[in-house]
Structure 1
């Protein structure tokens, strides 16, 4: 069995499986296999106990949580499932600055917008563990941008031969919203001949797919708070996840909110987004009491 980049490199000869869809377990056997592979990287001797803190999309419902517990319970000795935006906020938090009155604690009065591959998760944080009412999950994210970009390319170049992996890579290397700042070409095969075709505008169109729903969800989530709290949260919207790296997306979201009359809205990018959730998970693991961890036999 091949995993990750190795599987993608050998894709011509493999039947690729995607354990997750929209951030949720959809292929349970594949999810068990992949998590088993991850465990083997942590404890290759197979004898050590391994406990895991795992992020889930915001407001995951009971059947989807049960699937995740099943996949985790097959591989880990104990585990915790925590909303991913909350883990991101903990990862952003700098404990050394908590006593600084000028420091804005991301766990208090902020909104995390985590743009992933399968889902975009929004979470109000007010200094305590978020409830379902504090979270919104948009089942549209990076994978949907890939699909939209492929559709746009096929519409413009109907004879081109495309592979999903190639579309994802050109998007990840050149993603932006707003006016194109450079010419982007993609090597495609048309009628058996290689050609370099211009796809700049198509990338921009595809990447804007998420902006309206994010803006609408930010507004809806803010309305669930008292006005004073909502004003503080809207002034501290933090983007994270792979989709946060789309050039121009913080500015576009902020401008759209201003156009809707939210003049105090401020949207910023979290630094080092790839490490935030894992850093937050480590903090949770250190804070959790023994009785808070789930046992596979009891999950």
Structure 2
């Protein structure tokens, strides 16, 4: 009889991480790509699906899906069925990265936004149920507090890409009134920063992926932040720009809804 392997999965808007009781820890970008046609499939070595950074790099050749763009699985929009398929494929992929030997029993915990609805949690359970033997979905910020043994007098603020989640921990399992979620998070900061840069430097050329890299390198909500100097192209030539004020303004938008 095989051993029992425990997995913790952070199914994030931007990145998905898995850690196992066997010591494996890895992270992939939360993107799934499906070849547009037979030419794209041939270019990708005959594969029907690719993941993460590779999917983004080949976005012109694939139908690129970011199934958790709003922090939960979008099951209402035009791409509802595709999102459900992409989440299942992404979960199967990250579980395969955990390198669980065949025949072992898999117990998994998947984190969800603090105020995720019952339907949202049910969608996650449905997406993962075929790949594990037992599964629970729990509040992401509470999982952080529990893992760090911060079980009382603690406020966890989990800033993700799609949502910012807050959880008050006071020695018991958190109730609904102990948890809050709002949608001003990493993606919103990216779009605000991009708009501020367009207003200040209309000649600069950049992608949203470049904006995300600028943010991850220079993000701050202090007036005494280091200078945020980045390289963008102008008429095809690289040029240095100081975006310190734009970076501060964009990042600070997360503060009011978090402290309200």
- Same fold per superposition (TM over 0.5): yes
**TM-score, structure 1 as length reference:** 0.63
CA–CA separation in structure 1 for the residues paired with 2:60 and 2:184: 28
The 5-angstrom pairing of residues 166-181 of structure 1 reads 166-181=210-225
Q: How many angstroms does 1:44 deviate by?
A: 5.8
Show the counterpart of 2:67: 19
Does the Cα contact within 8 Å between 1:186 and 1:197 map onto a contact in 2? Answer: yes
**TM-score, structure 2 as length reference:** 0.72
Q: How many angstroms does 1:160 deviate by?
A: 2.5
SS of the equivalent of 1:108 reads coil
CA–CA separation in structure 1 for the residues paired with 2:88 and 2:256: 35
CA–CA separation in structure 1 for the residues paired with 2:224 and 2:207: 24
Q: Which runs of 5 or more residues in structure 2 are unaligned?
A: 1-48, 75-82
SS of the equivalent of 1:25 reads coil
Q: Which runs of 5 or more residues in structure 1 are unaligned?
A: 94-105, 217-299
Of Structure 1 and Structure 2, the greater helix share is in 1
Q: 1:134 aligns with which of 170, 178, 183?
A: 178
CA–CA separation in structure 2 for the residues paired with 1:46 and 1:201: 53
CA–CA separation in structure 1 for the residues paired with 2:158 and 2:108: 21
Say if 1:108 and 1:182 are closer, same or farther in 2 by CA, change over 3 A: closer
SS of the equivalent of 1:124 reads strand
Show the counterpart of 1:120: 164
Does the Cα contact within 8 Å between 1:180 and 1:201 map onto a contact in 2? Answer: no
Show the counterpart of 2:45: none
Q: 2:90 aligns with which of 16, 23, 34?
A: 34
The 5-angstrom pairing of residues 156-235 of structure 1 reads 156-216=200-260
Aligned residues: 204
Q: How many angstroms does 1:12 deviate by?
A: 5.1
Measured on the aligned residues, the alpha-carbon RMSD in Å equals 1.9
Show the counterpart of 1:107: 151
Q: How many angstroms does 1:190 deviate by?
A: 2.3
CA–CA separation in structure 2 for the residues paired with 1:108 and 1:181: 32
